[in-house]
Amino acid sequence: MPFLNKPLPKNKFTIKNKQVFFRKQDYLIISHLLDSGIDFKRSLQFFDTKYQAVISALNQGSSIQDILSKQKDGISKNIVFFLHYSSMKDAIEHAFALVRIQEQLKKQIVSKFAYPLVIVIVCIALLQLFYHDIFPMLMTSFPTMSNQMYIVWLVQVFYIFATIIKYSLILLSLVLVVAHLSVKIQYSLIHHTVAFVPILKQYCSYIFGQYMLILNQAGISTMDGLQYLVKLDCLWLSNFSLSILEQLEQGTDFLTIMHQSPYITNTLYQALQLRFHTQENHKPLEVYLVQQEELWKLEIKKLTLIVYAITYTLVALIVFIMFQFMLIPFDLLSTMG
């Protein structure tokens, strides 16, 4: 498992005024021990005295749910929820499956765009330095250069183009940072734009479909699954699930709600239709998710090509302009001759 090789954040809770640290990686180790037939309490002994307070609490009659509910992280909350429906081992597996839903998508996007974006930023920085420092100095040193207006025009057009890209990246970065820091702003942005931005609608639909599939695979009914989603920190998903529950209580059919929702794509709606009208409980959702992932691979590939085209265009223009400036002294010498 790839996430076993990475340092993971610690989560803490207090048992009788003593702090106990639970790492996400420890949950994975416990899951492997449980798979070998070792019970939860004995698996904690694998960590020597690290979880002695937890073992003592279990010996005194505390339940696993009571202990883990004191943790504030999403993994522990997920485990506590799944423990009502499955064993500890299965609960850990389902909990990590939920956490990986958005992490996998983020990693895929970052891995594709990190390199070209770095090149774009370097090119813009070089152009800023060239336009504000080197270019004025060359204009002063070579007065006849003003006669070669195509170079001046090219530099100015290139600078405007790079400036537009720079401020677009800054604006996008600010939006992402603010949305990450404020759940309410994130919800407001998604809620007011999801109906007009197809890729955002696909994202919301994909996340909802992933959650529903994992919850159903764990043997959890749609109603119980929606009640769980209401408690999530993801505000748009929580409010969306609450809205579904309220409409169901009013007698609206589930498929009608899905069909009218701005968060659900027509492809997911069709998958849910097949799920409700056939005996295949998981297969339609699994097919939908695979289809959506393949669609995103194509979209990401297209977007990657565009980003690389912009990147190499910036590099080529910088090289071309520098080459033109290198020719200026030779042109002056030939003129003087």
Domain locations along the chain:
2-72, 99-337
End-to-end CA separation in angstroms for the chain: 71
DSSP letters spanning 287-308:
HHHHHHHHHHHHHHHHHHHHHH
Among residues of the chain, what percentage have pLDDT more than 90?
A: 9
- The predicted pLDDT at position 150 comes to 67
Indicate whether this model's pTM tops 0.85: no
Helical packing angle, 198-217 and 222-230, nearest 10°: 120
Q: For residues 303 and 306, what is the distance between their CA atoms, to the nearest angstrom?
A: 5
Q: Residue 127 carries which side chain, given as an amino acid letter?
A: L
- The predicted pLDDT at position 234 comes to 80
Closest to 240 in 3D by CA, of 220, 264, 222: 264
Give the pLDDT band of residue 336 (cuts 50, 70, 90): low
Scan for tokens 């265009």, then name that residue. 313
Residue 335: pLDDT over 70? no
Look at 206 and 313; give whichever has higher pLDDT: 206
Residue 244: pLDDT over 90? yes
Identify the sign of the CA torsion 279, 282, 286, 289: positive
pLDDT average, residue stretch 91-100: 81
* pLDDT tens profile 38-69: 888 888 888 777 778 888 888 888 788 877 77
Best-predicted range by mean pLDDT among 99-113, 115-129, 157-171, 223-237?
A: 223-237
| Integer-rounded Cα radius of gyration of the chain | 28
The answer to whether residues 235 and 187 touch, using CB atoms and an 8 Å cutoff, is yes
* pLDDT tens profile 4-43: 344 444 444 444 444 455 677 888 888 888 888 888 888 8
Q: Residue 259 carries which side chain, given as an amino acid letter?
A: H
What average pLDDT is seen over the chain?
77
pLDDT average, residue stretch 310-332: 72
DSSP summary character for residue 7? -
The answer to whether residues 225 and 215 touch, using CB atoms and an 8 Å cutoff, is yes
Closest to 299 in 3D by CA, of 202, 173, 225: 202
Token pair for 212: 């529903």
Q: For residues 205 and 203, what is the distance between their CA atoms, to the nearest angstrom?
A: 5
The answer to whether residues 328 and 145 touch, using CB atoms and an 8 Å cutoff, is yes
Look at 179 and 227; give whichever has higher pLDDT: 227
